[in-house]
Structure 1
Amino acid sequence: MVKDRAIFPLLEEFLSIFPAVGILGPRQVGKTTLVKNLNLDREAFYIDLEKASDRLKLSDPELFLKTHQDKTVILDEIQFMPELFAELRSLIDENRVPARFILLGSASPDLIRNSGDSLAGRIGYLELPPFTVQEVDQMDTLWLRGGFPLSFLASSERVSLIWRENFIKTYIERDLGMLGLNTDPRQVEKFWMILAHAQGSIWNGDGISRALGLTRPTVNRYLEFLEGSFMIRVLQPYHDNIKKRLVKSPKVYIRDSGILHALAGIKALEELQTKMLVGASWEGFVIEQIINCLGDAYQYFYYRTHQGSECDLILVKSGKVMVAVEIKNSLAPKITKGFRISMEDMQAAEGVVIYRGGDDFPIDQNINVMGLKSFIQKYTP
């Protein structure tokens, strides 16, 4: 069962404030379906900029858009015509009303850069992630298949896997090029496979560049594009006012667990449980769910010292560590000494161990064991 998308209330608020609202996210995440299901105060006019016929309509954008100034104009795949931003700025300044434009984009760095320069103060941005545990009931299915709608809702595990394998192929061979990364698709595929088998590891750009026979700047560019298109999560280390030798390189995760499992060739949940990847997969899944559900309410980091103290995820607010999180793929989790030390180092307000079970209970002073859903419910603002 799929519930309403959690983004709806905030999207409606943005549409009541901003003349333009940008909804960013990877392809096939449901952006178009989302906006077509909105109940807008104005009539909506939809333009798909991936279609040559629709781009032709905008050969004179000022003339065309002014004929629809009484409507909410939805511009899908806006990265195909970044030159529109300058025109949108002029039109908004002439007639500044809320919800005049809705821009949908696949998180192109060019899109972000152009819109940031030309529509500052006129646009509000939202990210639409894949399905989250707030939106679906079957958490194990969500973990295995990931949250892309056509993967999660597929009629069988086989159909879901076939969809994800083809998504990966199309993304590498076509979509990255359209986002601006013009390179050998085989090298990008190898890069993504390396990241999959090192899920949640400390970023080692030098090692990866040697493995691929590429320069360090090229590998960094791959990472930048995959992060910019919401396919990779780069989790930065926490080091504020800590007088210890800390690991200062980021950790890297493939954001969607279903894409991770397809890259690793995992077909079923039973198979996943037997793989060494299972712990890293669960860790990445939990981190992604927390960040997508809690959003801008916190800043997110990990913590690790060279002496071995570590914490999988830290929730920071106003410069203070509110929650230190340890993630365990277990029904009987135990607290490590390193987790206790890390809490003391950061002066964390409280600690939580997120495990595979559903019951919540205290396990130590100021440390609780919680299921993922109850954690998200407790810390959602």
Structure 2
Amino acid sequence: MRSGNLLNKADLARDIGIAPSTANQWLSVLEASGQVVLLEPWFSNRTKSIVKSPKLYLSDTGVLCALLNLRSVRDLRQSPSAGAIWETFVFAQLRHRERRAGRSGRVYYWRDRTREVDFLVEAGGRVELFEAKWSEIPSLRDAVNLEFVRGILGPASVSKVAIVCRAAHGFPLASGIQALPASEL
């Protein structure tokens, strides 16, 4: 399953044995019906996300788990796809949060040749940076890319930096970086 990965339509078509034009048509249908969402990279004058391809996310983590034949929490915990499923879930929660706030189309990702931040949200003229980690206690190492992007943008441009994890409660992880459960988004 490709949820949370960069979309390469040619690879997708090859992997499932169809023409690239057919893959493109089906992706359009899946996107129009709300089954998948394409997350675009973020650009600004200060920094450019070198990657131009969108990331593909399934809209429903339950469907994603069913497609991966994960039938229980135990199956999920043992799955090599747990991180991608968590990232898909966090993306869905951010999208819900933005809709409740009356905003749409303001969630992106940031990536250069070696670093990635899962989600960048434009909010009130500033940005929020989020990393999704399938962990109950994230480490400082998990925050390296968040700190890098915050440094490029400048602290005044960034209103929130957080690792969204499976912790029961939020806690400070590093200077200006929080570890948050998804319920605190």
Report the TM-score when normalising by structure 1: 0.44
Q: CA deviation at 1:242?
A: 3.8
Residue of structure 2 equivalent to 1:346: 153
Q: SS at the partner of 1:336?
A: helix
Residue of structure 2 equivalent to 1:331: 136
Identity percentage over the alignment? 27
Higher relative contact order (CA 8 A, sep 6+): 2
2:125 is aligned with 1:315: no
Q: CA deviation at 1:363?
A: 1.4
Q: CA deviation at 1:270?
A: 0.6
2:104 is aligned with 1:300: no
Q: CA deviation at 1:355?
A: 0.8
Distance 1:336-1:374 versus aligned 2 partners, 3 A rule: closer
Q: CA deviation at 1:245?
A: 5.7
Supply the AA of the counterpart residue of 1:221. Q
Q: SS at the partner of 1:238?
A: coil
- Larger strand proportion, structure 1 or 2? 2
Q: CA deviation at 1:330?
A: 0.6
Q: Which runs of 5+ in 2 are unaligned?
A: none
Q: SS at the partner of 1:325?
A: strand
Q: Is the 8 A contact 1:309 1:342 kept in 2?
A: no
Q: SS at the partner of 2:3?
A: coil
Residue of structure 2 equivalent to 1:149: none
Q: Distance in 2 between matches of 1:266 and 1:362?
A: 33
Which of 1 and 2 has greater Rg? 1
Supply the AA of the counterpart residue of 2:45. N
Q: Which runs of 5+ in 1 are unaligned?
A: 1-196, 376-381
Q: Is the 8 A contact 2:43 2:49 kept in 1?
A: no
Q: SS at the partner of 1:339?
A: helix
- Larger helix proportion, structure 1 or 2? 1
After superposition, what is the alpha-carbon deviation per residue over 1:152-199, rounded to whole angstroms, capped at 9, x for unaligned? xxxxxxxxxxxxxxxxxxxxxxxxxxxxxxxxxxxxxxxxxxxxx222
2:180 is aligned with 1:370: yes
Q: Is the 8 A contact 2:42 2:48 kept in 1?
A: no
Q: Distance in 1 between matches of 2:90 and 2:6?
A: 18
2:23 is aligned with 1:219: yes
Residue of structure 2 equivalent to 1:279: 83
Report the TM-score when normalising by structure 2: 0.88
Residue of structure 2 equivalent to 1:256: 60
Q: SS at the partner of 1:240?
A: coil
- Alignment RMSD, CA only? 1.7
Q: SS at the partner of 1:208?
A: helix
Q: Distance in 1 between matches of 2:89 and 2:183?
A: 12
Q: Distance in 2 between matches of 1:300 and 1:245?
A: 14
Q: Distance in 2 between matches of 1:301 and 1:207?
A: 23
Q: Distance in 2 between matches of 1:237 and 1:345?
A: 16
Q: Is the 8 A contact 1:324 1:350 kept in 2?
A: yes
Residue of structure 2 equivalent to 1:115: none
